[in-house]
Structure 1
Amino acid sequence: MNRNIRVLLADDEPVILRGLKKLISWDTLGLDIVGEARDGIELKALIDSCTPDLVISDISMPGLSGIDIIRDIHESGRPVKVVFISAYQEFSYARQAVQYGALDYIVKPVNTGQLEQVVERAVAVIRQESQEERNKEMLKSYERKNHSITIEELLQLLTDGNKGAASALARMGNLAITRYASICVIETDEYSSQTSRWEERERKLVEFALSNIIKETVDAAGNGYVFRKGERFAVLLQHEQATGPEQIMQDLHHQINSYLKLQVSIGIGWPVTGIEEADESYRSALKALKTRYFAGLNQVLADREGHQEGPRAVAEWTAAQASLTDALKSLDMEQLPVLAGRLLETVRVLSGDSRNQAVSHVYNSILQLEQELAGIGAGGGLKDPEDKPLLEMLTDTPTFEALKQLYLDVLKRLADQLAYKMNGREMPQLLQVKAFVEEHYAENITLESMAALVFMNPYYFSSFFKKHTGQNFKNYITEVRMGHALRLLLHSDLMVYEIAERVGYNNARHFSDMFKKQFGKLPQEYKQSLKR
């Protein structure tokens, strides 16, 4: 629906102004009178403040003449149409005004038919020009959108290895002349491992916000294009310095973390010297993205080529597995975690960038340990409290750090299983104590309360516990609490004081001191050191 046309009336004679307003039905013709002026200076001020579409004015007024007014409109570029009213003796003056761009002129005295005819013509011209302007804007918008889609499609083809896409982009004038080009890939960590957490509407809102931040950051850096590649966002960067993309992606990562509170991993591909080789950089970026399983989530990752130590790592894994088996059979609880750490280091080397390889090596290690225990009559099979298969549990770990922790937990359960078989009657009591601690570690557990649980006096319970575990009960409680605290620190966004409360400490400072004693660093320092 068209809006009414805005009109200014101007004449230095009040009686003529009143007559103009009454001669015709302005509203019926689709016009609103938005102001009246009695001299040229007042008219100029109203044109500035009222933004009219049409001015109907006496050509000769005090202050500024009609020619002055129309010249000012023309020089300012305003799309304002002007109709002048003139006396018969000013006819040549009115014709000069038409040459300056006036739409029409009316000779006094003005009558209804004359005014209606001129106003209807003005309305038709204004409406037509307005529609043409809208059509031009729509065409420009369509061309911009179509141009953007074409670029995105060509970038997708380029990263698929289509060499012709580079030539097409060059013909469109969308490539800069730079030494290097790199592809970077951005993926939201939540999408990759916790898809069910996101409702479809939330996902679209997050992707919209994420797309805006990526485009703003890349546009600010210059010589970059953002496009979708499957479920991920991808960026083509053209740059002079080989290390240029890393700074841009670090800045982008900071923006996403700060403003969207999202965890994202960004893979940076190798810089290539020709845009037609962008597919190589893209594959390199995907390879970098895969390393987040080992490096940790929410990081900027570059593809670093490294030499493989296959045969040597296999030999080290075999030796570490044998040592670990011996320590488990002898229930050497001090050496068990040390040897497990050594074996996991060989797993890291053997796996390269493959998450599946890491899971496979750890799973094989556990199977071999179970078989060894079964050979001495101590194998009972491992079962998750939720009845999940062991391989599924290992596969579900989001990072290598989480895989390591699960492996250590399994070793501890194997050791408890063996100790139970070896120690007969007392072992169920020890397992009962450990199970209670594992379930109630956040509560106030005392030596006396635990002794009462297994019907022992506190002194005997203390001796009994140290005999079977090699550590005193108080240290064991601390160890359990710190283990849970570490998991919360690494795999949640909880504050330090919240973690302290969840693992049984009312005083956050005391908790931090105990954490530092256990792990060598305060909680936040430990978390930051892992990120670095």
Structure 2
Amino acid sequence: MLKAILADDEPIIIKGLKKLIPWEELGIVIVGEAMTGRSLMEQIEDTQPDLVITDISMPDGSGIDVIKEVQRRQLRTKIVFISAYQEFSYAKDALAFGAVDYLVKPIEKRLLLEAVGKAMTQLQEANEEQSSKGKLAVYEQKDKKTQLEELFDRLTQGDIRWDEAQRKLQALNTPFPGTCFSVLCAELEHVQLQDGRWGEHEKRLLVFAVSNLLTELIQLYGNGLVIRKGENLCVIVNHMVVEDDLQRLASEMRDKVLLYLKIHMTICIGMPVISLQDIRKSYLSAVETMSYSYFEKEGAILSWSQNKRPDSSEQILADAKQAVMKAVIAKEKQQALVLLESFFEHAATNANGRKESAVLFVYALLKELMEEMSSVGLDLQVSAEQRKNWQQQMHQFYRFSDLIAFITARIMDILDQVNTAGGSREAQQMKMIKEYIEEHYSENITLESMASQVFMNPYYFSSFFKKHMHENFKQYVTNIRMKNAVRLLLQTDLLVYEIAEQVGYHNPRQFSDMFKKSYGKLPQEYKSQIKG
């Protein structure tokens, strides 16, 4: 029999370790328990154990101190460390000093078995003790839980025939008393996992810690297990027909992971199915629901029943885009921000859960706005390389809210350039516009024709003109025409229809009506009253 010592400053942890795995069946006898580093070292000296399972952080001497002393004395003792999740920095030191493994609390039975088995293998190789081979072979066989995880992984992937799955379930003899099965997809916050401070070992520990926590919580609502899908987790729940329970379970999972592990987790609930044979349908509906998480805040809980989004249309989206562009051209910052919010809502609705579509919609707005600025003579000085970098950044954002912030910042930059690009150039343009109107008021001048004369977009020209003249373009041209009409009335003997033509009206009735609107009298009445 191999000798082992269990050490932790919390007696309940030692008690739990003793009950977690069948020590005697593995050929191991517990020869001591310690609650401090000093006590552990003394017992190691006295009993010369083969294996020590110890907390890395204890009073009166840490686990690192113990393993250093074991190495200094060249003892054959193998050490497995356990500790709280937040002490990852110790893990690197522990493994560097030759620890067999590092397990995070709460300890999962399978991981402890693996660590003990690894220690036994190392002892066997070092001492060539053939007597432990039988016990080790028993340990290395996949336990029931591992086989169940593999079976459900294949069921959700759809790569196992149902009759074969049934045979495996019967062999495992695992009852599922609930009437329904549901799959919950749990996605750990991607930004934090990609942080350079997280190594592969830390990620693995984190995913295991989350898996342990979720497994415990499942038991409060029914039966089930957790399987890993890449860096995400797939939770299979066997439950009664009460969907509210799944919402509560998902909420508790999200909240506990944030409380204990300080990481956000998004959970998507798949449709419930009555037969285990249909578990893949629940899984696929959960995965489909996960696509909508791009448009939600971190830590959201989504259900397959929420997948139907309100209808929108490409025309509504196009109109929203034009409204934003018009506000930017008009230099209306607050209005542009309000219209942008509306545009983003329509873009999200039209995307229908597709991230790539949302990115394309939003980039189209930015691209067309830059082209519009160029058409009105404003050089934004954005290189092709910079635009390409923008596109790459937009595809890499993990949340739609990040994309919104990025695009809003770019558009506000454009607005700032529009606001600062004026000055003397605008004064020159206005001088030319006024001179042109003075010379050509007798012709058919329209806002569109005038805008083309100064190479401006009609929307921009309208806003530009009103900003400088404090009245709209049409009213300004009418006032010029009416002033010249009065001059002709008083200084010539031309008839009304002749004056109308000379000031740009081909319809004498329209001219008379406009004259009366401006001066309160018809042209001939005005002339008679002034001369009288």
1:137 Cα deviation from its structure 2 partner? 7.4
Question: Which amino acid is the alignment partner of residue 303 of structure 2?
Answer: A
Query: Deviation digits for residues 187-232 of structure 1, max 9, x if unmatched?
Result: 2113687254411222122123222212222234331111222332
Q: How does 1:218-257 map to 2 (within 5 A)?
A: 218-243=218-243, 244-257=245-258
Question: Which amino acid is the alignment partner of residue 291 of structure 1?
Answer: Y
Q: How does 1:412-431 map to 2 (within 5 A)?
A: 412-424=412-424
Give the corresponding residue for 2:315.
315
Structure 2 CA distance, aligned partners of 1:169 and 1:405? Answer: 51
Note if contact 1:249-1:266 (Cα within 8 Å) is conserved in structure 2.
yes
The alpha-carbon distance between structure 1 residues 340 and 246, as it changes in their structure 2 partners (threshold 3 A), is: same
Structure 2 CA distance, aligned partners of 1:264 and 1:401? Answer: 17
1:140 Cα deviation from its structure 2 partner? 6.7
1:367 Cα deviation from its structure 2 partner? 0.5
Structure 2 CA distance, aligned partners of 1:288 and 1:271? Answer: 14
Asked if 1:153 is matched to 2:150, the reply is yes
Give the corresponding residue for 1:199.
199
Unpaired runs of at least 5, structure 1: 4-132, 428-466, 469-532
Asked if 1:393 is matched to 2:390, the reply is no
Alignment identity in percent?
23
Question: Which amino acid is the alignment partner of residue 279 of structure 2?
Answer: A
Note if contact 1:242-1:271 (Cα within 8 Å) is conserved in structure 2.
no
Note if contact 2:293-2:302 (Cα within 8 Å) is conserved in structure 1.
yes
1:300 Cα deviation from its structure 2 partner? 2.3
Give the corresponding residue for 2:303.
302
Structure 2 CA distance, aligned partners of 1:401 and 1:340? Answer: 13
Q: How does 1:480-491 map to 2 (within 5 A)?
A: none
Give the corresponding residue for 1:286.
287
Structure 1 CA distance, aligned partners of 2:260 and 2:307? Answer: 35
Asked if 1:350 is matched to 2:350, the reply is yes
Between stretches 380-389 and 261-270, larger displacement belongs to: 380-389
Structure 1 CA distance, aligned partners of 2:250 and 2:167? Answer: 27
Asked if 1:167 is matched to 2:175, the reply is no
Give the corresponding residue for 1:264.
265
Note if contact 2:191-2:398 (Cα within 8 Å) is conserved in structure 1.
no
Structure 1 CA distance, aligned partners of 2:157 and 2:165? Answer: 12
1:185 Cα deviation from its structure 2 partner? 1.5
Note if contact 2:221-2:239 (Cα within 8 Å) is conserved in structure 1.
no
Query: Deviation digits for residues 467-514 of structure 1, max 9, x if unmatched?
Result: 99xxxxxxxxxxxxxxxxxxxxxxxxxxxxxxxxxxxxxxxxxxxxxx
1:167 Cα deviation from its structure 2 partner? 1.5
Structure 2 CA distance, aligned partners of 1:409 and 1:298? Answer: 25
Q: How does 1:72-91 map to 2 (within 5 A)?
A: none
Q: TM-score, normalised by structure 1?
A: 0.51
Q: What is the SS of the residue equivalent to 1:296? A: coil
Query: Deviation digits for residues 253-278 of structure 1, max 9, x if unmatched?
Result: 12111111111112211111211111
Q: What is the SS of the residue equivalent to 2:267? A: strand
Note if contact 1:181-1:274 (Cα within 8 Å) is conserved in structure 2.
yes
Note if contact 2:178-2:223 (Cα within 8 Å) is conserved in structure 1.
no
Question: Which amino acid is the alignment partner of residue 152 of structure 1?
Answer: E
Note if contact 1:270-1:303 (Cα within 8 Å) is conserved in structure 2.
yes
Note if contact 2:289-2:307 (Cα within 8 Å) is conserved in structure 1.
no
The alpha-carbon distance between structure 1 residues 306 and 232, as it changes in their structure 2 partners (threshold 3 A), is: closer
The alpha-carbon distance between structure 1 residues 250 and 298, as it changes in their structure 2 partners (threshold 3 A), is: same
Corresponding pairs, count = 299
Between stretches 250-259 and 186-195, larger displacement belongs to: 186-195
Question: Which amino acid is the alignment partner of residue 279 of structure 1?
Answer: R
Note if contact 2:178-2:222 (Cα within 8 Å) is conserved in structure 1.
no
Structure 1 CA distance, aligned partners of 2:156 and 2:220? Answer: 23
Q: What is the SS of the residue equivalent to 2:421? A: helix
Q: What is the SS of the residue equivalent to 2:237? A: strand
Structure 2 CA distance, aligned partners of 1:387 and 1:182? Answer: 44
Unpaired runs of at least 5, structure 2: 4-130, 428-466, 469-532
Q: TM-score, normalised by structure 2?
A: 0.51
Structure 1 CA distance, aligned partners of 2:369 and 2:176? Answer: 59
Structure 1 CA distance, aligned partners of 2:231 and 2:317? Answer: 37
1:252 Cα deviation from its structure 2 partner? 1.5
Give the corresponding residue for 2:337.
337
Structure 2 CA distance, aligned partners of 1:317 and 1:344? Answer: 9
Give the corresponding residue for 1:408.
408
Query: Deviation digits for residues 360-398 of structure 1, max 9, x if unmatched?
Result: 110011111111111111142447999972112322322
Structure 1 CA distance, aligned partners of 2:388 and 2:319? Answer: 30
Q: What is the SS of the residue equivalent to 1:323? A: helix
The alpha-carbon distance between structure 1 residues 191 and 417, as it changes in their structure 2 partners (threshold 3 A), is: closer
Structure 1 CA distance, aligned partners of 2:237 and 2:134? Answer: 33
Question: Which amino acid is the alignment partner of residue 153 of structure 1?
Answer: E
The alpha-carbon distance between structure 1 residues 298 and 309, as it changes in their structure 2 partners (threshold 3 A), is: closer
The alpha-carbon distance between structure 1 residues 197 and 362, as it changes in their structure 2 partners (threshold 3 A), is: farther
Question: Which amino acid is the alignment partner of residue 247 of structure 1?
Answer: R
The alpha-carbon distance between structure 1 residues 353 and 390, as it changes in their structure 2 partners (threshold 3 A), is: same
Q: How does 1:48-87 map to 2 (within 5 A)?
A: none
Q: What is the SS of the residue equivalent to 1:221? A: coil
Give the corresponding residue for 1:372.
372
Structure 1 CA distance, aligned partners of 2:424 and 2:175? Answer: 76
The alpha-carbon distance between structure 1 residues 367 and 175, as it changes in their structure 2 partners (threshold 3 A), is: farther
Q: What is the SS of the residue equivalent to 1:328? A: helix
Question: Which amino acid is the alignment partner of residue 264 of structure 2?
Answer: Q
Query: Deviation digits for residues 279-338 of structure 1, max 9, x if unmatched?
Result: 11111111222222111112222223454666x421111111122222111112231111
1:159 Cα deviation from its structure 2 partner? 0.1
1:419 Cα deviation from its structure 2 partner? 2.3
Structure 1 CA distance, aligned partners of 2:316 and 2:193? Answer: 32
Question: Which amino acid is the alignment partner of residue 156 of structure 2?
Answer: T
Structure 1 CA distance, aligned partners of 2:203 and 2:386? Answer: 30
Give the corresponding residue for 2:441.
none
Give the corresponding residue for 1:185.
185
Structure 2 CA distance, aligned partners of 1:383 and 1:419? Answer: 21
Structure 2 CA distance, aligned partners of 1:150 and 1:230? Answer: 18
Q: What is the SS of the residue equivalent to 2:257? A: helix
1:238 Cα deviation from its structure 2 partner? 0.9
Q: What is the SS of the residue equivalent to 2:315? A: helix
